[in-house]
């Protein structure tokens, strides 16, 4: 059992003893009660030292955890709360706090159907009970798709990252004819555009594998895990999407957006590096500094005729080629008689 969980069990036990009006507890009694509580949870002998309980009482008295418990020693021997109504489980919040907590609970409830959040259901219910949460509908709605293929893999991937386990993944990319086994060191889970990806180390290089292309996952305890200690914000700072390349440097991408769509790009930047170069009645010229990848191209193409790439030249020519191909598709389109 983790030390944090041990401490929580001791605090809960001490709280129960200190608010008991019908029994006097000495320090030795408190030590015995804490040891017995840990034994019940762990199923093995677990002696709590005198110093540990004294430190617990000190922490409960202090502001360290927000308890400020009114613990007193009377007759130089017995411990209790000077306020018989006090408990560390009492929540001292005002009406504004309760409303804010209720809103947070409503947001959490939107995640409860994800398999990785199933263990949170009981916690969410306790929060609702504690703050007398209303049954109002959520004011904030988050875009999610619980039926998205691959979500069933999140649990094992999450646990493997947390516990630093090597994985063998049977994977079939969209371009592969057959499935292949990838032995990977999982590092991060990433959601983009309502799809989930595993960022992992494979053959000394970083890869992103789509969860919806995974067919089977097994842990490989024979191999030692390699931890790249990735920071998500740092790793994805120069890209749009999930595809990061070690060999491609960020480029300055200059693009124009017409006046009807420019406000949307201003208020929802394509990347955090986005800046306005100039603007007039016709539209706005922007620039961003990113790696050029598939996701960026898809994003730019999504604006259709409202956006024109100026630089770099190679990206502009590729965009022109794609729009010409799209135009030919419409010119050659044969639509069956709808009648």
Last residue of a domain, one of 56, 81, 106: 81
Cα distance between residue 302 and residue 298, in whole Å: 6
User: Which of 54, 81, 108 is the C-terminal boundary of a domain?
Assistant: 81
- What is the domain-level CATH number for residue 157? 2.30.30.520
Rounded average pLDDT over 125-141: 55
Residues 257, 326, single domain; the answer is: yes
Residue 218 shares a structural domain with residue 263: no
| Same domain? 182 vs 114 | no
Which CATH number belongs to the domain containing residue 64 in this structure?
A: 1.10.10
In this prediction, residues 125-146 reach a mean pLDDT of 57
* All residues at 6 or more sequence positions from 123 whose CB lies less than 8 Å from its CB, including other chains: none
Q: By the 8 A CB rule, do 154 and 196 touch? A: yes
Residues 155 and 230 in one domain: yes
Residue closest to 286 by CA, chosen among 305, 302, 309: 309
Q: Is residue 241 part of a domain?
A: no
**pLDDT at position 79 over 80:** yes
- Is the pLDDT confidence value at 30 over 90? yes
In this model, does residue 253 exceed pLDDT 70? yes
**Is 338 inside any structural domain?**
no
Mean pLDDT of the 38-48 span:
80
Task: Scan for tokens 């409960």, then name that residue.
Answer: 60
Q: Which of 53-67, 144-158, 231-245 has maximum average pLDDT? A: 231-245
> In this structure, are 123 and 156 located in the same domain?
no
Q: What is the pLDDT of residue 1?
A: 46
Q: Is 244 a member of any domain?
A: no
Whether residue 86 lies inside any domain: the answer is no
pLDDT score of 288 more than 90: yes
In degrees rounded to 5, what are phi and psi of residue 74?
-115, 150
Q: Write down how long the chain is.
A: 339
Choosing from 57, 81, 105, the residue where a domain stops is: 81
Neighbours of 298 (CB within 10 A): 12
* pLDDT for position 144: 63
Same-domain pairing of 125 and 164? no
User: Per the structure, how many domains does the chain have?
Assistant: 4
Answer yes or no: is 74 within a domain.
yes
Q: How confident is the model at residue 286 (pLDDT cuts 50, 70, 90)?
A: very high
Q: Which two tokens stand for residue 335?
A: 């639509």
66 and 106 both lie in a single domain: no
Domain containing 304 equals: 251-331
| Confidence at residue 73, expressed as pLDDT on a 0 to 100 scale | 94
- Whether 115 maps to a domain, the answer reads yes
Q: Would you say residue 242 lies in a domain?
A: no
pLDDT tens per residue, range 160-179:
998 999 999 999 988 888 99
**Shared-domain flag, residues 274 and 205:** no
Q: Do residues 157 and 131 share a domain?
A: no
Element (DSSP H or E) covering residue 219: strand 214-219
**pLDDT tens sequence across 207-249:** 999 999 999 999 999 999 999 998 999 999 999 999 999 888 9
Q: Are 288 and 237 in contact (CB under 8 A)?
A: no
pTM, full prediction: 0.61
């Amino acid at each position: 059992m983790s030390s944090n969980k041990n401490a929580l069990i001791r605090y809960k036990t001490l709280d129960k003893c200190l608010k008991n009006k019908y029994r006097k507890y000495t320090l030795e009694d408190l030590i015995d009660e804490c040891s017995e509580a840990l034994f019940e949870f762990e199923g093995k002998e677990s002696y709590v030292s005198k110093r540990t309980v004294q430190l617990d009482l000190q922490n409960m008295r202090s502001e360290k955890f927000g308890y400020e418990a009114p613990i007193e020693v009377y007759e130089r021997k017995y411990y209790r709360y000077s306020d018989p109504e006090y408990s560390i489980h009492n929540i001292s919040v005002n009406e504004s706090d309760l409303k804010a907590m209720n809103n947070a609970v409503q947001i959490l409830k939107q995640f409860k159907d994800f398999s990785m959040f199933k263990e949170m259901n009981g916690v969410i219910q306790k929060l609702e009970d504690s703050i007398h949460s209303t049954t109002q509908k959520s004011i904030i709605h988050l875009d999610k798709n619980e039926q998205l293929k691959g979500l069933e893999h999140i649990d094992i991937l999450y646990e493997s990252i947390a516990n630093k386990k090597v994985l063998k993944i049977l994977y079939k990319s969209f371009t592969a004819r057959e499935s292949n086994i990838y032995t990977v060191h999982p590092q991060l889970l990433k959601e983009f555009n309502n799809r989930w990806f595993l960022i992992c180390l494979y053959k000394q290089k970083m890869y992103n594998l789509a969860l919806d292309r995974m067919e089977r996952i097994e842990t490989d305890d024979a191999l030692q895990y390699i931890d790249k200690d990735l920071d998500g914000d740092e790793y994805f700072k120069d890209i749009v999407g999930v595809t990061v390349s070690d060999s491609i440097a960020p480029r300055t991408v200059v693009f124009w957006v017409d006046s009807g769509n420019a406000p949307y790009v201003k208020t929802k930047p394509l990347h955090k590096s986005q800046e306005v170069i100039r603007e007039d009645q016709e539209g706005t010229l922007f620039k961003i500094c990113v790696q050029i990848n598939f996701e960026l191209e898809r994003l730019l193409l999504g604006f259709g005729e409202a956006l024109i790439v100026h630089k770099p030249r190679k990206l502009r020519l590729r965009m022109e080629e794609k729009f010409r191909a799209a135009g030919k598709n419409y010119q050659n389109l044969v639509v069956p008689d709808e009648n």
